[in-house]
Amino acid sequence: MNQGHAPVLHAEVLAALEIRPDGRYVDGTYGRGGHAHSILSALGEQGRLIVMDRDPQAIADARETMGSDRRVTIIHADYANMRAQIAALNLLEQIDGILLDLGVSSPQIDDAARGFSFQQNGPLDMRMNPEQGESAAEWLARADEAEIARVLWEYGEERHSRRIAKKIVEARQSGKIEDTATLAALISEIVPRPKNNKHPATRSFQAVRIHINQELEQIQRLLESVLDILKIGGRLLVISFHSLEDRLVKRFFKAQSSRAKIPRGLPLRDNEIPSNIRLRLMTRGIKAGARELASNPRARSAVLRIAERAA
């Protein structure tokens, strides 16, 4: 395991994957490899691990630490494009397990230059892949007041979204908002510090990050194609950190694990009712225990959901 990064719900992930020595597994969010290295250590000579990440720094770490292992395939791509990548490897419906650890990794948060956090000042970037798309600063410079307010409300559930949006539009008339400290200070003028002592800008930063990286759209695209990737009996594990992410996963799992609804009164026996059950739910949402939370407070909002392809 990468000693500089504590993966969330690590023991629970490894237990749920039930790693076979000759199995094929995909870590769609390599990060700094906390989960990936443990998966690899459980594989035999015939096993295979495919790691993906859209962050170039994460991919560089993967190449440095496991790039020489012939069992490993390293792909610099969004997990939303996983189906195409697995198809290129001729491994559709042959994958034993897929892991997604959503959200921002600790190295991304801790690097002020990435602009994800207001704890240290840095450029207002927030892109998972700094080589693609527009930065948070660029978006805030062009978006109108209504769009900014919508993003803050929908993705951050920020009750002061309209006032913050208005303040941003007013502030950018006299100067660009290009660093995290400027944005955080601006939001703090509007939002009172919560009773739980969270920073007033927490919800807004989260919302802007989700929007800039199209995080919910990425999850939806992966879920829509995951049944083409897993073999029957293969498992999908998703660790979410935000209620909107978790809701998407939960709804997908429910939809794919429920029997088709048949209008009342039709003369059908149980064995004649068409089944659309594609997934088998393995457990309810799993959260970090007290011991993990004591050593890794960032795990407090993590929820692990597990489902197995049934058909």
CATH number of 10-106+215-309: 3.40.50.150
Residue 108 has pLDDT above 90, yes or no: no
Architecture label for domain 131-212: Orthogonal Bundle (1.10)
Across the range 270-295, mean pLDDT stands at 84
Least confident window among 26-40, 71-85, 222-236, 290-304: 290-304
- Domain residue spans in the chain? 10-106+215-309, 131-212
Contact 306, 16 (CB under 8 A): yes
3-state secondary structure of 127: coil
Instruction: Report phi then psi at 47, rounded to 5.
Output: -75, 165
At 149-183, the pLDDT tens digits run: 999 999 999 999 999 999 999 999 999 999 999 99
Residue 30 has pLDDT above 90, yes or no: yes
Is residue 3 very low, low, confident or very high in pLDDT (cuts 50, 70, 90)?
very low
Residue 1 has pLDDT above 50, yes or no: no
How would you label 268-277 residue by residue, b for 16+ Cβ within 10 Å and e otherwise? Answer: eeeeeeeeee
Quote the pLDDT of residue 4.
Answer: 46
At 209-232, the pLDDT tens digits run: 999 999 999 999 999 999 999 999
Q: What is the secondary structure of 158-177 as a DSSP string? A: -TTHHHHHHHHHHHHTTS--
At 36-72, the pLDDT tens digits run: 999 999 999 999 999 999 999 999 999 999 999 999 9
Contact 51, 75 (CB under 8 A): yes
More confident residue, 5 or 127: 127
Quote the pLDDT of residue 212.
Answer: 97
| Same fold across 10-106+215-309 and 131-212 | no
